[in-house]
Structure 1
Amino acid sequence: MQAVSEQTQQTQVRKAWMGVLAKAPAARLCALWEQYGEAPDYVILRAPEVGGVMVRGRAGAVGAPFNLGEMTVTRCSVRLATGAVGHGYVQGRDKTHARQAAVVDALMQTGAAPQVEAAIVTPLREGLAEAHAARAAKAAATKVDFFTMVRGED
C-alpha cells in the first residue's frame, strides 16, 4: 500500500515540473538551457511533431464536461544515454521548446535532478508565479465591491 502512495507522490511531482516546462515561455526556457551548460547525450525517440488536442471544459467547474475546442500542441520524446526517457508537450508549434522540455524531463529523473531543478525548473516556476500574481493584481484593480456602494435606503 505504501509503494502505491510513493508512486502516486512521484507522479504528482513529475506532473508539477512537466506543467512548469509546458507553461514556461519558450524564450525563457531556451535562455536557462543555455546557461545550464553542456547538453547531455540523448536520442530522439519521437521527433517533435505538431498536432491537436481537444480541450474540455465544465460549466462552473462542476457541471458536465463539454468539448470547448481544439488546441495546437507539439510533443517530443527523448532517451538519455543513462536510459532515462523524457517527454515534452507544449502549447503551440515550437519544436525546440518541446525538445528542450523533453530533455529537461529526462534529466529530472536522473542524479542531476537537484542541479536541473535549481538552474532551470525553479526559475521557470518563479517566473510563472510572478506572471500569475501580476495578472491577479491587474484583475483585482478592476474589482467592484457592490456592498460598499450607497443604496439610497435612508
Structure 2
Amino acid sequence: MTELSPQKSERKAWMSLLAKAPAAEVVRLWQAHGAAPEFSWLRAPEVGAVMVRGRAGAVGAPFNLGEMSVTRCSLRLADGTVGHAYVQGRDKDKAQIAALVDALMQTAEADGLRKVMLDPLAAGLAEGATARAARAAATKVEFFTMVRGENA
C-alpha cells in the first residue's frame, strides 16, 4: 500500500471529520462562519447506497454486511478549486457544506476555517468518544482467581 502525501493525508482527515460530525453541528458552525462563496455544481447532491463490508474479528474473510445510504456531491468555486463530499445518510445540506469546506480548505481561507469549523467539530467528536469510553469503563468487570488451600 502506498503512503499518502502529507497534503492528501490532511485532506483525508478533514473529509473524514466532516463525514462523521453530526449534521446539526456542521450546519450551525457553517452558519456562524458566514456567507457561502460562489460556486457551480459539478455533481449536485444525490442520494444513493453503498455496500458496507465487514470482517469477522477484523482479520477474517470480508463479507457483505448490508447497504447504507450516502449523499455525495462535487462543486467548483469561482476560483476553480474543486470540493467533494460523501456523507452518511440523506442530508443534502450537510453534503453541500462538506463539499464547500473541502474546497475552501484548499485555499487561503484554510486556517480561519480550521479554527471556526474543523477544530470545534474535532473537539466535539473527541468529547463524545471520551464519554462513550467512560460509560463503557463503568460496566467493566474484573475477573480474578483465588488460590484454594488444597492447591497450595
What TM-score does the superposition give when structure 1 sets the normalisation length?
0.91
CA distance, structure 2, for counterparts of residue 64 and residue 73 of structure 1:
25
Q: Provide the aligned C-alpha RMSD in A.
A: 1.6
Equivalent residue number for residue 86 of structure 1: 83
Counterpart secondary structure, 1:40: coil
What is the Cα deviation at residue 39 of structure 1? 1.2
Equivalent residue number for residue 95 of structure 2: 98
CA distance, structure 1, for counterparts of residue 35 and residue 101 of structure 2:
12
Equivalent residue number for residue 64 of structure 1: 61
Sequence identity (%): 62
What is the Cα deviation at residue 151 of structure 1? 4.1
Alignment map for 1:88-127 (pairs within 5 Å): 88-127=85-124
Structure with larger Rg: 2
Q: Which runs of 4+ in 1 moved over 3 A?
A: none
Equivalent residue number for residue 31 of structure 1: 28
Equivalent residue number for residue 50 of structure 2: 53
Unaligned stretches of 5+ residues in structure 1: none
Counterpart secondary structure, 2:5: helix
Cα displacement string for residues 96-135 of structure 1 (whole angstroms, at most 9, x for unaligned residues): 0001000000000111100111110110011011011111
Unaligned stretches of 5+ residues in structure 2: none
The letter of the residue matching 2:141 is V
Counterpart secondary structure, 1:54: strand
